[in-house]
Amino acid sequence: MGVAPSGLIIETSSAFGGRASDKHIVADSEILNRLDYGDAVMVDKGYQIEKECLERNLTLYRPPFLTQKKQLSREEALSCAEIARARVHVERVFQRIREFDFLRPPVINIDKFM
């Protein structure tokens, strides 16, 4: 699901099986092709889409994660905190969808209105 900073749902996709990678899901949705030159994309740790964002001149925001080190650097920790503050808005959208599931209208891609 793609969510704008305002909380507007701008992208939905069909469900994928458990074996589908995040990279495959992003490619299949073609959301990156609909973004403008210079836009930013915020993803979770598992989304390995650096190349795709670079090709489209998109800024990628993804929390840093530990590989072989035991602790994040100061800069990485600050970056992680900034991303988490922005990510809370996306999580609120997901929470609203769960809370108001009883209303059950289908979520429609914004493309249908543009």
Q: Which of 29, 65, 59, 60 is nearest to 46 (CA)?
A: 65
- How much is the average pLDDT of 5-23? 81
pLDDT of 59 over the 90 cut: yes
Give me the domain span that covers residue 43: 2-112
pLDDT band of residue 114 (cuts 50, 70, 90) is low
| Total domains present in the chain | 1
pLDDT tens, position by position, 85-100: 888 888 888 888 888 8
- How much is the average pLDDT of 23-40? 87
| Token pair listed for 25 | 């899901």
pTM for the model: 0.72
- Classified as helix, coil or strand, 72 is coil
CA distance 66 to 73: 10
- How much is the average pLDDT of 29-54? 89
